Amino acid sequence: MNDSLLLQLIVNGLILGTLYGVVAMCFTLIYKASQVVNFAQGEFLLIGAWVCWWVLTDLGLPFWLGFPVTLVFMMAFGIILQVVVLRPMIGEPIISVIMVTIGLSIFFQSTMKWIFGVIVQPFPPIFETQSVSILGLNVQPAYLMSLFVSLVIMGGFAVFFKYSKLGLAMRATAFNQQVAQSLGISVQKMFALSWAISAMVSALAGVVFGIVNGVSSALSLFGIKVFPAVILGGLDSIVGAIVGGLIIGLLENIAQYVDGEWLNIGNLYNIAPLYVLVIILMIRPYGLFGTEKIERL
């Protein structure tokens, strides 16, 4: 047994888990608001990270300026994507919409490779030190920032949906579009808004992850990792997304420990979340917190 390694991995798992939770939340947001299963969620991270990297290195802007620029870009990107690509798909069969998002995912991945190449590019150093020691554990400052940012975003979501006029309108739209319209809420605006928020917050996660591991097309794998988290939590539950993200993050790291200590299979940490996906779909397809759909025939 290697206790300090286990502890380190658990801390990593929690931090990574909150990040998964944030991205899963973005995924759920789009699903709830506009009933689109967005397979291009991972590419939002990828695009956000590349754009931020480009703004920081090629344009040479400082981080405090380059980062907001990235967010503004992603907001516009999300809105344009919804309006141009997904709005005409409203009313089409769900499978067609899924095919469109898978297509978008491939398209964006290739475009990013074409523009920025396939080599992993490190972010310019943003923090002075490479790691800080907390209670004898090494934690990268970027991860600390990630944890902090994730928690702020989660709190922000809660406040936004509970207390703001737009949040109320979005909840109303998610529940019943027709009723929302009869009360004067523009459903089209709410769709665009949900995509904008989702793209922005995902990009933020992409930047954080990029700072730690460098930017490369591997970032879009995040979208695949997030999928088990979303299914585990229940496709239409924001709280479920966060819990699902935490569980997947922890599981991944514990799998790595188990693998390294005893099994020596290698790469178990990549596979473990997908096992969870299969199992959860078999025994509880609506996830931990999702709406149980009972269809009467």
3-state secondary structure of 121: strand
Nearer to another protein, 182 or 264 (CB): 182
Note the residues at the interface with another protein (CB under 8 A).
160, 163-166, 168-169, 171-172, 175-176, 178-187
Nearer to another protein, 104 or 166 (CB): 166
Contact 46, 219 (CB under 8 A): yes
The helices-and-strands tally (H runs, E runs) of the chain is 11, 2
Nearer to another protein, 125 or 156 (CB): 156
User: Which residue, 166, 142, 109, 173, is CA-closest to 16?
Assistant: 142
User: Which residue, 271, 162, 199, is CA-closest to 30?
Assistant: 199
* CB 165, min distance to another protein, A: 5
* CB 53, min distance to another protein, A: 30
Nearer to another protein, 136 or 184 (CB): 184
3-state secondary structure of 287: coil
* CB 66, min distance to another protein, A: 24
Q: Beta partners for 139? A: 132
Residues whose CB is less than 8 angstroms from the CB of residue 212 and which lie 6 or more positions away in sequence, other chains included: 140, 142, 143, 146
Encoded amino acid at 19, one letter: L
* CB 238, min distance to another protein, A: 12
Using alpha carbons, list the distances in angstroms from residue 201 to 2, 176, 178: 36, 25, 28
Nearer to another protein, 113 or 189 (CB): 189
* CB 193, min distance to another protein, A: 12
